[in-house]
Amino acid sequence: MTGLTLLNKSGHKFRLSLVIAVASFLWTITLQTRAVPEDDVFQQAVNYLFTGKIDPGASPEIVDRKSCVVVVPEKFGGYARYYLTRFKMDDARISNKYSGREVSYELEVAGDDILVEYLKIDKTTVDYGFKSAHISLPGNIDQIKRALQLIFAEYCKADKPKSHFSRPEQRMIFKVKILLSIVSLLLCVVPPAATDFTYQEYTKAPEIWKRGFVFGISQYISAVAQPDEEAPYPVRTAFQRCLASSTDTLLVREVEAYAATSPASSKGPMVAIIMRAFFDLCRAEIEKAQSPKTAPSQR
């Protein structure tokens, strides 16, 4: 089994990987006859993902680009309609299938809502739908991964969970999350004070505790301006934009990746390490938001 990881170590590497993926696809396109517009990289990536070709005879149809709904012809008749933004790609994986010396690939993916519907020949009538799918992936594995990265990092970002609470209730829940995070720091940290909590001690903590610890700090810096920052608080706004769609699991990965690649910066209190990791992660947003006169110190 090959783990499928679509996340990158920092904002800069994320953008770089997208550029590489786009360039690779454009290079592949020059080797094939094109029946789709040259600038429609999304369509080409979808074509390759489902057919193994940039320009297949019967191309998958993108019926709703904004919602990333794709209708794909089935091998034995009928069609499959995929809702790509419902794919939980953090938990997806590519498995290898062997037939003698030949190897093929399959994407195993699930979602919180129906992500694939099987349609009759009219492309409208639904026979049945599922919250998980096993999708055959013809083609070269490296190109498949590039297609996946383009589709899900650039065009079809995952749906945000729908909230069942009103806005005042959401604000209250937000405050409670921060409060719980602070309480966890006060009650669960072994050293005398949270500021003394080190990276070595952090690595021994349970995974769920790490997620709460890192998430609490991310919420804090998204809600509270830096000590030497003045209105309209551009750095706080940059953190809000940068961290808004990040899950607690992703933030833990980012922090641990920063500590692994910056051993000199991973010494001292864990809170300071996390802050430096977030400044590194959100550097592009911060640089866009702040002027030289408003640059805060990285405490």
Position 82 pLDDT exceeds 50? yes
Residues 249 and 207 grouped into a single domain: yes
Is residue 240 in some structural domain?
yes
Residues 214 and 120 grouped into a single domain: no
Taking only the tens place, the pLDDT of each residue in 216-232 is 888 888 888 777 777 78
Residues 150 and 180 grouped into a single domain: no
Is residue 162 in some structural domain?
no
Position 233 pLDDT exceeds 90? no
Length of the chain: 299
Residues 117 and 10 grouped into a single domain: yes
Residues 13 and 147 grouped into a single domain: yes
The pLDDT, as a whole number, for residue 174 is 56
The pLDDT, as a whole number, for residue 72 is 95
Residues 136 and 37 grouped into a single domain: yes
Residues 171 and 235 grouped into a single domain: yes
Position 73 pLDDT exceeds 90? yes
Is residue 280 in some structural domain?
yes
Residues 35 and 13 grouped into a single domain: yes
> Could you say which of 107, 122, 155 is where a domain stops?
155
Q: Give the separation between CA 189 and CA 186, rounded to whole angstroms.
A: 6
Is residue 160 in some structural domain?
no
Share of the chain above pLDDT 90, in %: 26
Average pLDDT over residues 237-264: 85
Is residue 186 in some structural domain?
yes
What is the pLDDT of the chain when averaged over all its residues?
76
Residues 32 and 118 grouped into a single domain: yes
Taking only the tens place, the pLDDT of each residue in 280-295 is 888 888 888 765 544 4
Position 170 pLDDT exceeds 80? no
> Could you say which of 103, 126, 155 is where a domain stops?
155
Which of 74-88, 129-143, 176-190 shows the lowest per-residue confidence on average (mean pLDDT)? 176-190
Which residues are registered as beta bridge partners of 129? Answer: 117
The pLDDT, as a whole number, for residue 19 is 42
Residues 198 and 177 grouped into a single domain: yes
Residues 148 and 228 grouped into a single domain: no
Residues 125 and 175 grouped into a single domain: no
Domain count, the chain: 2
Average pLDDT over residues 62-73: 94
Range of the domain at 115: 2-155
| Range of 5-19, 119-133, 283-297 with top mean pLDDT | 119-133
The pLDDT, as a whole number, for residue 162 is 52
Average pLDDT over residues 15-33: 45
Q: Give the separation between CA 245 and CA 243, rounded to whole angstroms.
A: 6
SS3 letters across the chain: CEECCCCCCCHHHHHHHHHHHHHHHHHHHCCCCCCCCCCCHHHHHHHHHHHCCCCCCCCCEEEECCCCEEEEECCCCCEEEEEHHHCCCCCCEEEEEEECCEEEEEEEEECCCCCEEEECCCCCCEEEEECEEEEEECCCHHHHHHHHHHHHHHHCCCCCCCCCCCHHHHHHHHHHHHHHHHHHHHHHCCCCCHHHCEHHHHHCCCHHHHHHHHHHHHHHHHHCCCCCCCCCCHHHHHHHHHHCCCCHHHHHHHHHHHHHHCHHHHCCEHHHHHHHHHHHHCHHHHHHHCCHHHCCCCC
